[in-house]
């Protein structure tokens, strides 16, 4: 009689852990990274956002990884009974102040008329976001403004729409773009539009020294004057400014102009979205922000005649920021 040898099989033992309050069972040697892969979780850093939703820092908050209340790493080996807490890094918005301006048409300017406006001002970025405004007494007027040009292939098409609709607008031009495409600036002026200063290189001016900010504004202003513009207005890129920025602009003969309606067309939403956002934000005295520069502006151009027609149907006229 032949007796078969006994074979001992060493089966892996299960690892039973609590993961964010839920029981999880895994087999064999298990690390934190094994568990995250099993749960289809990708590590993400929390971002610091400005008050307009833009990213100031992409790595503001790290993920929270704790085992039994102690900070752990992805290579940490797990044992049965471990209690694991995991949360990806959370986005946070910069600290801000809310400000109420009794004179929205002051300096900085947010409205065409004298009504008040409530603002949120980011303390890290210097970005200011209009929240609510009261309708301006008097005639129903708005200002169309376009930023970041001139932009070949798009600025011309914006001008074509304005000309066909017999509307004038204000173009806040970037100095280096005006230097590259002076004929587009000259056309803006020739067709009765106002041209304003939008800095030379489009920086976040709240983060610049006074000397750098002055150079950005003065360099652009002087170029635009050579191209035939009477430059009286300045718009800070991203709406980022400080009291010092406004003071520097004033010393150069420039009134700081922000806006009171922003459809975020720079993100290229659908045409209907741009139209709906403008129409929902418009009040008498609104300064509308749109873009002819900074990339493909086809949706803005398609939305523009619809916006103009809709505003006219509601009794609005159009002004420049003289």
Residue 319's nearest CA partner among 238, 274, 246, 257 is 257
Beta carbons of 315 and 309 less than 8 angstroms apart: no
Q: Is 124 a catalytic residue?
A: no
Residue 292's nearest CA partner among 300, 281, 283, 282 is 300
Parallel/antiparallel/unpaired status of strands 170-173 and 194-197: parallel
Q: What is the DSSP string of 191-227?
A: TT-EEEE--SS---GGGS-HHHHHHHHHHHHHHHHHT
Residue of 262, 265, 291, 292 with catalytic role:
291
Beta carbons of 30 and 19 less than 8 angstroms apart: no
Q: Is 291 a catalytic residue?
A: yes
Question: DSSP label at 284?
Answer: T
- Paired tokens of 69: 């209340």
Helix (H) or strand (E) holding 303: helix 298-313
Residue of 50, 147, 197, 265 with catalytic role:
147
- What is the dihedral sign for C-alpha 158, 159, 164, 168? positive
Per the DSSP assignment, residues forming a β-bridge with 104 are none
Instruction: List, by residue number, the catalytic residues.
Output: 147, 291
């Amino acid at each position: 009689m032949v007796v078969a040898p006994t074979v001992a099989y060493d089966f892996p033992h299960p690892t039973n852990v609590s993961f964010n309050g839920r029981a999880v069972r895994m087999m064999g040697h298990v690390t934190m990274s094994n568990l995250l892969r099993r749960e289809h979780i990708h590590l993400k850093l929390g971002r610091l956002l400005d008050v307009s939703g833009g990213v100031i820092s992409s790595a503001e908050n790290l993920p929270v990884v704790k085992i039994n209340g102690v900070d752990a790493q992805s290579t940490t080996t797990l044992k049965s009974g471990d209690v694991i807490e995991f949360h990806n890094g959370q986005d946070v918005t910069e600290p801000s102040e809310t400000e109420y301006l009794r004179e929205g048409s002051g300096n900085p300017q947010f409205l065409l008329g004298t009504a008040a406006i409530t603002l949120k001002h980011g303390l890290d970025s210097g970005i200011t976001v209009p929240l609510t405004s009261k309708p301006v007494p008097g005639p129903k007027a708005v200002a169309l403004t376009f930023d970041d040009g001139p932009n070949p292939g798009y600025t011309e098409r914006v001008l074509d729409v304005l000309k066909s609709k017999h509307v004038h607008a204000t173009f806040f031009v970037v100095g280096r773009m005006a230097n590259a495409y002076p004929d587009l600036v000259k056309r803006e002026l020739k067709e009765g539009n106002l041209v304003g200063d939008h800095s030379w290189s489009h920086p976040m001016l709240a983060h610049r020294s006074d000397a750098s900010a002055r150079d950005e504004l003065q360099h652009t202003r002087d170029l635009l004057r050579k191209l035939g513009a009477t430059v009286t207005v300045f718009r800070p890129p991203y709406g980022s400014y400080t009291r010092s920025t406004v003071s520097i602009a004033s010393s150069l003969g420039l009134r700081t102009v922000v806006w009171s309606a922003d459809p975020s067309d720079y993100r290229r939403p659908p045409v209907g979205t741009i139209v709906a956002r403008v129409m929902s934000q418009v009040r008498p005295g609104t300064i509308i922000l749109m873009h002819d520069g900074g990339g493909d502006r086809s949706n803005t151009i398609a939305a523009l005649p619809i916006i103009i027609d809709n505003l006219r149907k509601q009794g609005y006229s159009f002004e420049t920021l003289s």
